[in-house]
Every structure is written in C-alpha cells, then in structure tokens.
Structure 1
Amino acid sequence: MTAETTWQAPAISALDPAVAAAIRAGIDGKAKPRGSLGRIEDLSTQLGMIAHPSSAKFERAVLLVFAGDHGITEEGVSQYPSTVTAAMVATYLAGRASANAFAAAANVGIRVVDAGVAAELPAHPGLIRRKIRPGTANSARQPAMSDREVSVALTTGHDIAVAEIDAGNDILALGEMGIGNSASSALLAHRLAPAPLDDCIGMGAGQNEPGMARKRAAIHKAANRSDAQAPIDVMREFGGLEIAMMAGAVLGAASRRRPVIIDGFICSVAALAAVRLAPAARDYCIFAHRSAEKGHQAVLASLEAQPLLDLGMRLGEGTGALLAVPLVRAASRLLSDVADLEDVLAGRL
C-alpha cells in the first residue's frame, strides 16, 4: 500500500476553458492593438480565469521561503556545509539577503518557514516555525522521510498557504533554502517528470569537477536504492521537507483559487509533485523564470510551462519569483484598469 491511500489532496477546481474565450475577447477590446502586449495577455487571461466569476484585482503578494536540510549532504553533494542553511535563514530574517532586496523593490512581504532546518532557530516575527524534523535522512542510504512526515509536510504547507490568503495576500510566491536540495530535486525530477537522471543533475550552489563527480555518484546511489514512482513515495524516498511543504503550499493556493508564482528548479520540482498529486493545481501555477540549473528544462517541459523570464539565474530564495510579481500585478491591472477601445472612441473615460 502506498502513502497515497492515507493522504488526500484538497479539492481543487480546474479552470473552465470556456471562460477563456470571453476573457480574451475582453482583452482584445481594450484600448490597444490586438495582441500588442504579447504574453502578458496570456497571463491576464490565466488570472481572469482564476478570479472568475469575480473581477477582483491580484495585488497583495507574499514570498514564502521554505527552509530545510538534507541528509544526502553527508555524501559530499555540496561545496557548502548544512550550517549554511541556518545562517541564510538568519540573513533573511535580518533583511540582508538577495531575496530581501528584491522583495523591497517589488513591495512584497517575506515569511520564512522552518520546515526542517538542522538547527534550533530563535523565535522571530518573520519566522514560521513548523520544523518536522532537523533535516531529512541520507537518501543515498535510506528513505529521506517517513510516510507520516511527508503527509505532515504536505498538510502543513497547505495550511500555511491558506493562512496567508486568509490574512489578505492574493498572490503567493514560493522560494526555498536548503543545502543539498538540488540533489534531492534531481531525484524527484528524475522520477516525477520523468527524465533521465543525468539530465536532472546540475551545479546547485556551485561545484568543481571533483565535487560534481561526488554529487553524481551520490545521486545515482540514491536512485539505485529505490524504484519509487508514485509522488508521495518518491518524496518519502528522496526528500526534502521544504520541497514537500512547498508542494502542499501550491495545493493550498490552488484550493483557494489564488495564483502561485513558482521560482526556479527546486520550486518547480515542488510544483511538479503537487501537480502529480492534483493535476488541476497546474492551472494556478505561474512559472517565473527559466533557471540556469540543468534539470529545470526537463521539469518545465513535463509541466508544459513557459516561464515569464529568462535571466540566467540559479540562486533560488524566490528571487526569480519576486521579479515576476510586478508582471502578475500588471497583467491583473490590464483586466481591471484599462479602458475599452469603444469607450475611448466614444469619449466615455
């Protein structure tokens, strides 16, 4: 019996394609040449379908940065020690990380979620303390998590997203921090896309060639240990706590009919897991950017996703998602603020 029999995804309504034609017709009738705003018009259509039958504006955004450690770092998959995860959480909370700078520029709030950092973190107003365990087990040697831990992570991510929406945020952006999480994500992408394993293994936070050899060997060792294929089973075997919690957050946003902006490789893997659990969740995902991390293209292809930006970024932290927030707001305002061409011509402004 797989874990899917003990955990149920929330009810998510697929977007109605019949609504798209009416929304697109409304956009075509705006005071501009038809199609002149390119892919922003596609984004506006998606947002209109999400909001339907309401015409509410999507404006207030929050970035949720999910943090967790990974036992597979014991195999030398990263140039950095696990202690960097806790150090970066402290940096976010001090307002001094790249994500903070980008969030300030985009007028977006930040909350950091301790999903499984391998350190005790002091209380802070910007920290959501939901630690399930202090890091996953080493997936090259044993399952990264238990079935229960996967279920708790999914449920917790869902509940955090819903709480943020209830607090008045109508755009959720996702980011992550966790030394070793590109290794875990490579394994998840390999099984859930699916895609050849070597096509999913990239530089992560940075590696030299000996380091890449260690990383590839550890990831192959983990893949050879388990033939898991079902989404929850794959998350159990290969981890991370923050990835499973982000998958739950995607499901939570979709269950409340709110757009969720997906950052780079690791966040896209979390979205892939969410979509494998509840296919209708795909309709609510907005993919921010095409990461330079090797495995991202395979994940995007499996989700039939065309990101908004392509800037050669691979930092994570939600930095790409933050840069996409103004585009989402602009696309929403195209629906609500731009006059119809017939009103312009008739002088009804």
Structure 2
Amino acid sequence: MTFSSIPFTHDVALDRALDAAINNKTKPLGSLGMLESLAKQIGLIQQTTQASINDPALIVFAGDHGVVAENISAFPQSVTWQMMENFLAGGAAINVFARQNKCALHIVDAGVNHDFGPRDGLLDRKVAYGTRNFAQEPAMTAEQCAQAMQSGADLVAGLTGNVVGFGEMGIGNTTAAAAIMHAITKIPVAECVGAGTGLAPSGVQHKQKVVEAAIAFHAPVISVGEPLGILASFGGFEVAMIAGAMLAAAERRMVILIDGFIITSALLVAARLQPAILDYCVFAHCSDEHGHRQMLAYLKGRPVLQMGLRLGEGTGAVLALPLLQASVNFLREMATFDSADVSKKSA
C-alpha cells in the first residue's frame, strides 16, 4: 500500500500569528505553560488561529499474538476476546472515560482468535485469528501487513472529527511492541522489555530472552531497517492497523492523540515511514510500562500527563482530551490586553 506525503505544518506567517495571538492574551508570557504549546501545535495542524476540537474519536483495535506460545504473559490469550466483550458491554475503563469526555468510541476486531459473529458496535476487520509466533517465523506476511494498515486508514477516513486517538487490546502485545522498539531504535532489549500485564521479575527475564532470541532470528530484516519488514516480522494486526490509521489521520490534518507503549510502537513504524507525522502527534502521557519513557525520548515527545498509567485501551489519550479542549478554548475565547483594557507589562 502507499500513503501520500503528509503535509508539513510549518507556516512562518501562521507561526508568528499564533505566537502573537497567544502572547496577547491577558496573562504573563508563558504562564499557561504546555497549554500554550498545545494551542500553537493544534493551530498549525489545522492551519488557523481559531483552532477547535470537534467530534473527537478513539478507535480500539484488538488482536492476538502467536508469541504467547512462548509463555510471555501473565494472562491467557482468551482474555483478549473476553475484554472485547467488556468493551462491547460498555464496562471497561475506556468506556467510562470516553463517555465522560464525550468521545466517540469504536471497537475493532483486527485479528482476535475468537468468533464474535455479527455484533452491534463491533467493526469486523479481522485479518486472521491472531498472528504467528514471531519467535519462530514472521508474525504476518507482507500482504497481511498491508491489508491491516489499509483497514486502519479506511476507518479513519470515515471519521467526522478533527481529533483521533487509538487504543489496543491483545495479550502478548507488549512483547511485540518491545521487539519493534528495539528493531527501530536499537535501544538494548533489556531497556525495552517490561512487566506487561503484571509479570514477576522471573517472567520479565524470560520475556527478555524470548525477545532477544527473536531479534537474533530476524536479524537480516532488522539489519535492513525497513519499517514495514520490521512491522510484519514482530507486529500484531492491531499494531499494523494503528500505524496505517495514524498515517491516514495526519494526511487529513487531524490531531493524533498518542497513548502508551503499544500505540507508541506503532508510531515508531509510522514515523520511520513518514517523519512529518510527528508534528501531528500529541503525546497524552508517559506510561509506567518499562520502555515507554525511552520511546518518548527517542521521538522527542513531551507527555501531557504523568499519572502512572499502564492500562492501555487508549485510556491515557481520552484522559488528555480536556486539556486539548482547554488549549483551544483559551486561544479562541480568552480576552486580549486590548479587548479587556488591561495594561501590558512595562518594558
């Protein structure tokens, strides 16, 4: 599949206009901190000094991973489809937070090892019943990877709003994300692998050994450094769909809310394909999953929230939405020194 080039956000005249609009509000310079940089970033994305947050959406992609055969998770693979049932019933954390923040929520079967049948609220984009075990062979074929990415892009094309976030569900996906992280960044495997769903230290050590062995097995692909090859070797169908969805969102000049460890691993692939995508990304939080802080440092991403989250599902992305709304609201609605007849700071 191919994606057209992502438009650059930099516009010298608009950059200056946004600085002037932000700095002329009735406040000391820089006193709204990160809200000011968010307002400017969103204005540059939307190409306006009157930025807005309209019809935000979050898409949760779910898929199973063949690498669970290596005993790298504290939970059985069946938890993936069971949590999907929880999402569809409205009982998961992401359902609660999406309702609270008036964020549309879409649930996608990217490749769960389960037959759901036709279900209200479920978007069936199943590529296969889970990936293959990447400890022994590529997780997916190049054709499956392309299909998944295209499905993610098509889902974003159907959204009406200008902000989108992504969530994930898939037992084994922190192992896939850790392998992708190492393959893209070359950060040592020990710094990429964490506890995931709650492994004991001995489990983390075993997981690290599995990833190291898989890295050695796929060394020829990694040495080439081609991101789609890395994604097909280690990724999940949900990770591939998210990468495709991110690229499509940036093409549509949407603000992209980046959640935690798994979502950022998809961004590592997308950014290697199209570096300009990073201008469209708001990093919602820094996850407590081992390795996420290093991912953010590699991408030069500044997280909005620091709350010790590591649930996934897109929860951090949705929790950051009110701060995005606040950033565009002050830009649009806050009085200026002139309009409020307030004296500016003397030179």
* In the alignment, structure 1 residue 226 sits paired with structure 2 residue 215: no
Q: Structure 1, residues 281-327: CA drift from partner, whole Å, max 9, x if none?
A: 11111100000111112211111101000111111011111110111
Aligned to 2:206: 214
Amino acid at match of 1:143: P
Deviation at 1:211, TM superposition (A): 1.9
Whether contact under 8 Å (1:9, 1:277) holds in the other structure is no
Counterparts of 1:342 and 1:59 in 2: how far apart (Å)? 29
* In the alignment, structure 1 residue 169 sits paired with structure 2 residue 164: no
* In the alignment, structure 1 residue 301 sits paired with structure 2 residue 264: no
Amino acid at match of 1:10: S
Whether contact under 8 Å (2:3, 2:248) holds in the other structure is no
Candidates 13, 22, 25, aligned match of 1:27: 22
> Gapped runs of 5+ residues in structure 1?
1-6
Deviation at 1:17, TM superposition (A): 4.8
Aligned to 1:89: 84
* In the alignment, structure 1 residue 9 sits paired with structure 2 residue 20: no
3-state secondary structure, aligned to 1:173: strand
Aligned to 2:68: 73
> Gapped runs of 5+ residues in structure 2?
343-347
Counterparts of 1:117 and 1:20 in 2: how far apart (Å)? 44
Deviation at 1:177, TM superposition (A): 0.4
3-state secondary structure, aligned to 1:113: strand
Aligned to 1:4: none
3-state secondary structure, aligned to 1:64: strand
Candidates 133, 136, 139, aligned match of 1:138: 133
Aligned to 1:196: 188
Root mean square deviation of aligned Cα: 1.5
Amino acid at match of 2:192: C
Counterparts of 1:198 and 1:341 in 2: how far apart (Å)? 53
Identity %: 39
Counterparts of 1:258 and 1:201 in 2: how far apart (Å)? 31
Counterparts of 2:146 and 2:23 in 1: how far apart (Å)? 44
Counterparts of 1:24 and 1:155 in 2: how far apart (Å)? 37
Deviation at 1:235, TM superposition (A): 0.6
Whether contact under 8 Å (2:51, 2:331) holds in the other structure is no
* In the alignment, structure 1 residue 329 sits paired with structure 2 residue 325: yes
Structure 1 length normalisation: TM-score? 0.94
Counterparts of 2:332 and 2:185 in 1: how far apart (Å)? 37
Counterparts of 1:108 and 1:151 in 2: how far apart (Å)? 28
Candidates 178, 182, 188, aligned match of 1:186: 178
Candidates 102, 117, 121, aligned match of 1:126: 121
Deviation at 1:55, TM superposition (A): 3.1
Whether contact under 8 Å (1:59, 1:329) holds in the other structure is no
3-state secondary structure, aligned to 1:298: helix
Whether contact under 8 Å (1:175, 1:319) holds in the other structure is yes
Deviation at 1:276, TM superposition (A): 0.7
